[in-house]
């Protein structure tokens, strides 16, 4: 599938970003994405350091179709809500992140990255909604937590209108959140 190939290429690009910053990070990334325990351990560490953009880069390294392989039994509710909160916080900053990384960045590159970020985020949230025990966890989301999901989805649809159908499915899965 074409989208899957694009996501794998995108994830490979993110892995190269990690590798360019520190060669050891490339090997570490393989560990972080190997199972839920390692992912959660890294996720919590980055959170304790206040590194929202680093958390986002970790999410970008995840191929959405492989999320079920990382979280084989379930994704804990706090991780699920942290992911939604991180996306709602960081996605609006993607253009600045790209422009800063590229010394100003070409506007076409920035727009392309926003669309890629939007597609990845919606596909990631869709993958989260398909994990085991998601329905049970979603029942206990607060209005604020559902609001993070909706905010992330709204940003994504604003960046790439073609994502509306998939975003609508995720909205339905979180309990028809109308925040």
State the chain's maximal CA–CA distance in angstroms. Answer: 45
16-44: per-residue pLDDT in tens?
555 455 555 666 777 788 899 999 999 99
Nearest CA-CA partner of 146 in 56, 59, 84: 84
85-126: per-residue pLDDT in tens?
999 999 998 877 776 655 555 677 778 888 889 999 999 999
Count of positions (residues) in the chain = 179
Cα 168 to Cα 179: distance, rounded to the nearest angstrom:
14
For residue 89, the 8-state DSSP code is H
């Amino acid at each position: 599938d074409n989208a899957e190939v694009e996501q794998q290429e995108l994830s490979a690009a993110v892995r190269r970003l990690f590798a360019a910053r520190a060669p050891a990070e490339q090997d570490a990334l393989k560990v972080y994405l190997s199972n839920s325990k390692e992912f959660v351990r890294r996720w919590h560490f980055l959170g304790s350091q206040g590194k929202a953009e680093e958390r986002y880069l970790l999410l970008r390294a995840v191929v959405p179709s492989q999320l079920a392989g990382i979280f084989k039994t379930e994704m804990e509710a706090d991780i699920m809500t942290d992911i939604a909160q991180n996306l709602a916080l960081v996605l609006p900053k993607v253009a600045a992140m790209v422009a800063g990384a590229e010394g100003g960045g070409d506007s076409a590159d920035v727009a392309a990255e926003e669309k890629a970020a939007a597609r990845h985020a919606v596909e990631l949230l869709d993958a989260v909604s398909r994990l085991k025990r998601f329905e049970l966890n979603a029942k206990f989301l607060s209005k604020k937590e559902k609001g993070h999901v909706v905010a992330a989805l709204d940003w994504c649809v604003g960046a790439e209108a073609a994502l509306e159908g998939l975003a609508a499915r995720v909205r339905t899965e979180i309990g028809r959140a109308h925040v």
